[in-house]
Copies of this chain bind each other. A is one copy, B any other.
Amino acid sequence: MKEKILIVEDEKDIVKMLEYNLKKEGFRTLSVHDGEDALDSANRECPDLIILDLMLPGMDGLEVCKALKKERKTASIPIIMLTAKSQESDKVIGLELGADDYVTKPFSLRELIARIKSVLRRVKEKDRLPEVLKIGEMTIDFSKIAVTVKNKAVELTAKEFELLKTLIRAKGRVLSRDYLLDNIWGFDHALEIQTRTVDVHIRTLRKKLKSESRHIVTVKNYGYRFEYED
């Protein structure tokens, strides 16, 4: 699943550079240029992570950080601070705000990306599904990333596994192709793209799951849902 990253930074060049490189790394990005927009955007878009410049016109980074941590809806979004000098980071960290990490400018792209991944990884550990799930004659082991039907291993590719996981996580709700594309493939919402990719993956998944593919139900005109009783 492609994570959404909110960039809060007033220097246009840096924003452009970050957007380009983060997209290349497989993240989705959106960016704003000042503190007010940041709070706004964080609330509406629910990004998975925020990159926040300490120096901003108007409301500065520290205040934004504090405000984000205060509100319940945004409190758990991890924040990586961009600080200009390493002196400032002393204060930043010494003070009571709760940024999850900070990177000092000038920063190396590689370091920033490594830190982003690291923060996301740590956050993800918390809200994961049970390690092993049994549904009918199928077992799904999320920690081993392995699926079994009638005690025989089923080799799924990454996309197939993600698809299955997403369907299961939805607990019987119908998921549209757009939703799946957005969440597993990370295509930008602005898609009029005509693609049958989801269908093809559903097909290969069904084929591999054999009898247990009965759980994957096509809902014409809407999408797919995963059906099962506990």
- Number of copies of chain A assembled together: 2
Determine whether A96 belongs to the interface, using a CB cutoff of 8 Å to chain B: yes
Given A100-B110, A108-B100, A110-B122: A95 touches B172 (CB 8 Å cut-off)? no
CA distance A14 to B98 in the complex (A): 11
CB atoms of A20 and B96 under 8 A apart? yes
User: With contacts A17-B98, A99-B109, A106-B92 known, is A178 near B144, CB below 8 A?
Assistant: no
Given contacts A98-B17, A144-B174, A221-B158, contact A114 B122 (CB under 8 A): yes
Name A143's contact: one of B11, B114, B172, B192 (CB within 8 Å): B172
Q: Mark A3-35, 1 if CB is under 8 A from B, else 0.
A: 000000001011011001100000000000000
In the bound complex, residues from chain B placing their C-beta under 8 Å from that of A90 are 105-106
Contact B122 A106 (CB under 8 A): no
Q: Are A106 and B89 in contact (CB under 8 A)?
A: yes
A118/B109 contact (C-beta < 8 A), A20-B96, A219-B145 known? no
What 1/0 mask marks residues of chain A from 108 to 121 whose CB sits below 8 Å from any chain B CB? 11110111011101
Q: Is the CB of A178 within 8 A of B117?
A: yes
Is B157's CB under 8 angstroms from A118's CB?
no
Size bracket of the A interface: 35 or more
A60 at the interface (CB under 8 A from B): no
Closest B residue to A15 using CB positions = B96
- Whole-angstrom CA separation of A63 from B13 in the bound complex: 17
Supposing A114-B191, A178-B117 touch, asked if A144 and B225 sit within 8 A by C-beta, the answer is: yes
Kindly list chain B residues whose C-beta atoms are within 8 Å of the C-beta of A78: 110
Within residues 74 to 109 of chain A, which ones have a CB less than 8 A from any CB in chain B? 78, 86, 89-90, 92-102, 105-109
Interface residues of A in 108-159 (CB under 8 A from B): 108-111, 113-115, 117-119, 121-122, 143-145, 157-158
Given A93-B109, A99-B109, A143-B172: 7 more A-B contacts, CB < 8 Å: A20-B96, A21-B98, A94-B106, A113-B122, A114-B190, A145-B222, A158-B221
Closest 9 CB pairs of A and B: A158-B221, A93-B106, A101-B108, A143-B173, A114-B191, A101-B110, A100-B110, A17-B96, A89-B106
